[in-house]
Structure 1
């Protein structure tokens, strides 16, 4: 991209400097939100018996002990159905990641497709999955080995082991974030070069890893503030609806049956679902925005002679 350098400020704001037709972000967020809502609806439909049982338990007074055996039996049966939703989740990821990276690397407008880019991104996703398993194993080692050594040394050693475990945990998180940052351009490179690129990201992000991590942290803190505000709005809305429907709720003398009926009514869930749908939209926008730092690293690769893109979108 002409005149665009890789630095902290550009990494954070790269989503707004991709070039191409305007309106990508809101279209991406809206369609992503609708697809996420549809996938969640299918998941609820597949596991509806367990949800129905919990609703019945609430309306009958919330006695979980009398429903314990039924919950265990139903969870084992219905939980397996939840695995059926995985193909939909994977399909959703590859098509949106394809649209995401085509915007960054080619300046395309918003469109969803299932083609060669998506097939290559699926392989990249599998490599990430294997890497996450390795990192998870490393996390277990980082947490428990120091603690086990400390326990073996006695009471004083247990305290030392706990301290070492905490320090090693922080160290592991820092290293894991750095590794993730160094490999984070894999999807962008795969779409850019139209070939599977994963470990090539290590070279492209040389000297840029901690800048990418810093950008991620800042963006994550911003989105966390937004989420907290949205959840506070949802909580205030929920309590407001219940307070209007259930006399004596805030005085502590509300009727349990009235509370149960209000919680399970469409008048309670309808407005909250609108708020949570907006949460999906924000989550979708964040998914695109946080890809920006790695995509900028791929766009500013000195060894890439790609065409420059100009312009911004809103």
Structure 2
């Protein structure tokens, strides 16, 4: 019988040297902030028009003003903005791969190197390759489920012509899609951890790692997501409470169809005005900082679940380290 996984909080187990994961997280935050600053500097000329257009669309949508939506047009700067964003995603995800590789190397092998744990060595590029595998698997699954959805929907329309039956079939396919995606997500979740454990690109060996461990891993991830959702909910409540103190919602007006549009418009206008005040930016900064720390803890915890699965597979002989040459 396999040893209990106990993977949920594996990342936070006491190890011989402390602070390694904290230093790697700080380095990730520093380099990430520099990348964000670089993107902001490059995209500054296109950000203003895009945000102004977005605010016009939101305001017009709140009042159902189709004329204003049509008049807002479509800013050409948005192509420059998204073009820069796509290019920016490459160095950002390389940074993410370096961070994940640093965490996994420490939790699996007890190794660390580079700038506060981050490096551009072979482990980083192997983890980055795993990201591309996730992208391709997602594309393939989405394509298959899209074709299946179109086929079933067409068959229902031709066969029964019942709109409710067609809608029910579409909902069933959507549920099936999420179930299939969740299954494959769990089975391949330790792909990067397996790659680090074997010191060789081994994304598909994760299927072997997770054999017999599916429900243990599912339970660990569900618990982590539940904790993170509670944390995110608390931040959201804090943000709403601070905003509502100066921008209250007139719930009585919202319940009156004749006054609802005006109430929504007034709320959005007051909300946008609130965002221009320095004290609001201070609140945003504090909540963003707290949220970033929470997100990093969540990511590290997730890496720990995958690391524990890979370590268990090594101990049980399911996988073997790649032979050295």
Q: TM-score, normalised by structure 1?
A: 0.79
How many corresponding residue pairs? 290
Measure how far apart 1:100 and its partner are. Answer: 1.7
- 2:181 aligned residue (162, 173, 176): 176
The residue that corresponds to 1:211 in the other structure is 216
Gaps of 5+ in 1: 244-251, 307-314
Aligned to 2:65: none
Match of 2:136 in 1: 130
Per-residue displacement from partner, 1:137-192 (whole Å, max 9, x unpaired)?
13323544322221122432x42232233223222322222222222222112112
TM-fit CA distance, 1:286: 0.8
Q: Structure 1 residues 84, 241: closer, same or farther in 2, change over 3 A?
A: farther
Q: Structure 1 residue 97 and structure 2 residue 100: aligned?
A: yes
| Structure 1 segments of 4+ aligned residues over 4 angstroms from their partners | 54-59, 62-67, 254-262
SS in 1 for 2:203: coil
Q: 1:269 aligns with which of 262, 278, 281?
A: 281
Distance, in Å, in 2 between the alignment partners of 1:258 and 1:287 is 35
Decide whether the 8 Å contact of 1:26 with 1:285 is kept in 2: no
d(CA) in 2 for partners of 1:255 and 1:177?
38
State the SS of the aligned residue for 2:204: coil
CA RMSD of aligned residues (A): 3.3
Higher relative contact order (Cα pairs below 8 Å, separated by 6+ residues):
1
CA-to-partner distance for each residue in 1:204-261, whole Å, 9 max, x for gaps? 2111123212221221122111111112212222334668xxxxxxxx8x89998755
The range that moved more, 264-273 or 138-147, is 138-147
Residue deviations 1:86-106, cap 9 Å, x none? 222122111111112112211
Deviations 1:79-129 (A, max 9, x none): 222222122212211111111211221134661111111122222222222
Contact 2:46 2:78 in 1 (8 A): yes
Instruction: State the Cα distance separating 1:56 from its structure 2 match.
Output: 5.6
Is 1:119 equivalent to 2:122 in the alignment?
A: no
Contact residue 37 and residue 277 of structure 1 kept, 8 A:
no
1:53 to 41, 49, 55: 49
Cα 1:102/1:263, change in 2 over 3 Å: same
- Structure 2 stretches of 5 or more lacking a match? 61-67, 249-262
Deviation at 1:53, TM superposition (A): 2.9
**Residues 31-90 of structure 1 deviation map (CA, whole Å, 9 limit, x = unaligned):** 43444443333333333334323666769xx67658623x43221333222222122212
Residue number in structure 1 paired with 2:293: 281
Query: Quick one: distance in 2 between partners of 1:142 and 1:154?
Result: 18
What is the alpha-carbon distance in structure 2 between the residues aligned to residue 259 and residue 193 of structure 1? 52
Structure 1 pair 43–204 and aligned structure 2 pair: CA distance change class (3 A): same
